[in-house]
Chain A
Amino acid sequence: MAGLFDKFRVNRPKVDQSRSDETQRAELPSDLWIKCSDCGNAMYRKVFLDNSKVCDKCGFHHKLTAHERLELLADPGSFEEWDKGLFSGNPLGIEGEYLEKLVSDRKKTGLEDAVLSGKIELTGIPVGIAIMDFHFRGGSMGSVVGEKITRMLERSGDLRFPALVVTSSGGARMQEGMLSLMQMVRTSAAVRRLNDLSVPYFCLLTDPTTAGVAASFAALGDVIVAEPRAIIGFSGARVIEQTIRQKLPPGFQTSEFYQKHGFIDMVVPRSELRATMARLIGMFAQPVLESPA
């Protein structure tokens, strides 16, 4: 998997043998092919991955795992994980599949919960980072996610590292009841602490960023960047449709929609993300990283 995101090929010309590939398709094992979940375009898995999971036809940005995101953003080998070994409890004593799903998602993702946090370097600048992973319980925020994001923000403040949260979450984790709602407060309070310390805080919103995550730390960045066509918003589209009994307009609750309405600074395609984030964070690096007199 190493070097997966070294090159980006969003606008890469079609490969010559594409036709012969097509003819072979029937005989190929299905895991060699990936279908774009937006336009249905079939791509070679390798092409898809080399393209950092962006459809080469319609440009749809598919979800990345936390580790893939890390590889996309961080200087190679610069990641140092923080706060390993924190696990979700079962504070409401939920019976049924929930605990089994935690176990299977741990296996599936290699993560302990829905967020990976630590320090990276981005073109040599140290950055505190938390990356949410939708593949773990829909990226839902329970106590562990709240705790790790809060700790990352606090530690970044102590170390005077700029902080970055990459969001991908449907919202609060229902299975932890009101404890999960309270994670909105802890994380938001930690953001305000960074503000008071004049440590810059950045949000990168990816598909999806909704409900309790949108309505807390994801909305509070000094600069807020989003990937194209990510679903963002407070209420779910289905709930809105049922409430107002109308069809929703096309493009509703996307990154572009929220940029137009004034809530997002930049929509940046994945192919330019690393360079843009480095430029952006670099703007703040000098005055902030010097320890205060």
Chain B
Amino acid sequence: MSMILEVEKPLLELENKIKELKEVNLTGRVDLSSEIRLLERKAEQLKKSIYENLSAWDRVLIARHSVRPGTLDYIQALFTDFLELHGDRLYADDPAIVGGLARFEGRSCVVVGHQKGKGTKDNLARNFGMPNPEGFRKAGRLMSLAHRFRLPIFTFIDTPGAYPGIEAEERGQYEAIASNIALMTELGSPIVTLVIGEGGSGGALGIAVGDRVLILENSVYSVISPEGCATILWRDASKAEQAASWLGLTSDKLLRLGLVDEVLSEPLGGAHRETENVFATVRGALRRHLGELLLSTPAELVTSRYAKYRRMGVVLEQALTP
């Protein structure tokens, strides 16, 4: 197993111990099977107690982990005939957002998602999954294509945020995000969005306006990064851990506030373990939600999407007193 969190350390040690004992046991010189069973039971309990008490910050670390499945992993596992399409027809192709045509359960669709890199070199090429305006514009182009041909749209969310750079600003980062958000509220295609890792603020939302917004249990979705929040509130980025619990960015809190429609459970320890199980869970959820959405006409989808977002807000008729 690969360790992500400090709290996993004792579990990792125990699992190594079990492995050693099993090797000794295989030699047949001593019978250790009852000890192994005991330790395995203990490991199972430890696993539960660790992963059922993850802090918001633990989940941020899991969501960001480099071995967590990314958009291309999901495309490969759940879609067939993927044809990656490139470029925004205006300026460039952005490798931080991938997209194209594919089949889901035999049905043609458009799939779009943020893509982080695997390893340093790939990460540099993909700008750590932080899109430039051309990434959002490419996504917008592909989603418009889907609309015209009534293809369903799947989007996968996994970004630290939109790239903060000089050229990104020159080319209108804010405009690119705004246009996509507005566009997605008007598309007649069913849109299913899944937050697979990090949902970093506007850079995530730029491709995340869906009829259904799903989130994996250990994914996070936040208005600002915990580091950014800590810097603004306490002028100290190292208080990110505190900010993470403050921001309400975990899947359970998002569900409670009605900001996501369903939380998809992960294997204990995260989606990078037992990935086949994760893919099966995601496939089932995508199939179910798409099936429901396909019962609506394009006009009905637009109307109900408007109503869905129209409800999002907490507004009181009286001022709160401190």
Which A residues are within 8 Å of any B CB, using their own CB? 85-92, 94, 99-100, 102-103, 106, 112, 143-144, 146-147, 150, 172, 174, 176-186, 188-189, 191-193, 210-212, 214-220, 232-236, 239-240, 243-244, 246, 248-249, 252-253, 257-258, 261-263
Contacts and interface: CB of A to CB of B under 8 A. Distances in A.
Minimum-distance CB pairs A-B, first 9: A235-B164, A143-B313, A219-B178, A214-B174, A189-B185, A99-B322, A234-B174, A234-B173, A89-B314
A172 B224 contact: yes
Query: For this complex, into which size category does the number of interface residues on chain B fall?
Result: 35 or more
B144 to A, nearest CB: 14
B233 A220 contact: no
Contacts of A147: 313, 315
Interface in B15-60: none
A184 B185 contact: no
A121 to B, nearest CB: 28
B81 interface: no
B221 A178 contact: yes
Interface stretch (B91-99, B108-116, B247-255, B289-297): B247-255
Contacts of A174: 223-224, 229, 232-233, 247
A189 B174 contact: no
A263 B314 contact: no
Contact of A181 (B201, B229, B315, B317): B201
A240 B313 contact: no
Given A178-B223, A179-B257, A185-B181, 18 more contacts: A88-B316, A91-B314, A92-B247, A143-B314, A150-B310, A174-B223, A178-B259, A185-B205, A189-B182, A192-B186, A212-B201, A215-B181, A216-B178, A219-B175, A219-B179, A234-B202, A239-B164, A240-B165
Nearest to B133: A234
A232 B317 CA distance: 33
Q: Pick the most buried of A103, A178, A243: most chain B CB atoms within 10 A of its CB.
A: A178
Nearest to B232: A174
B313 A179 contact: yes
24 contacts: A86-B315, A87-B317, A87-B318, A92-B247, A147-B313, A172-B201, A177-B257, A185-B185, A186-B309, A188-B178, A192-B182, A211-B174, A214-B178, A215-B178, A219-B172, A219-B174, A219-B175, A233-B174, A234-B169, A234-B174, A235-B169, A239-B164, A244-B165, A244-B166
B246 A94 contact: yes
B1 interface: no
Contacts of B271: none
Contacts of B312: 143, 179, 182-183, 185-186
B313 A261 contact: no
B172 A182 contact: no
Given A89-B315, A102-B319, A261-B172, A243 B249 contact: no
Contact of B182 (A88, A90, A191, A239): A191
B171 interface: yes
B314 A189 contact: no
Contacts of B201: 172, 181, 212
B209 interface: yes
B248 A243 contact: no
A215 B175 CA distance: 6
B318 A240 contact: no
Interface in B181-240: 181-182, 185-186, 201-202, 205-206, 209, 221-224, 228-229, 232-233
Q: Pick the most buried of A150, A215, A233: most chain B CB atoms within 10 A of its CB.
A: A215
B177 A234 contact: yes
Nearest to B186: A192
A243 B163 CA distance: 9
Nearest to A176: B314
Contacts of A243: 163-165
A106 B247 CA distance: 24
A85 B177 CA distance: 31
B169 A240 contact: yes
Contacts of B221: 178
B168 interface: yes
Nearest to B169: A233
A293 B276 CA distance: 59
Contacts of B164: 234-236, 239-240, 243-244
Given A87-B317, A239-B164, A178 B222 contact: yes
Nearest to B199: A178
Contacts of A232: 174
Contacts of A184: 178, 181, 202, 205
A74 to B, nearest CB: 26
Nearest to B136: A215
A215 B317 contact: no
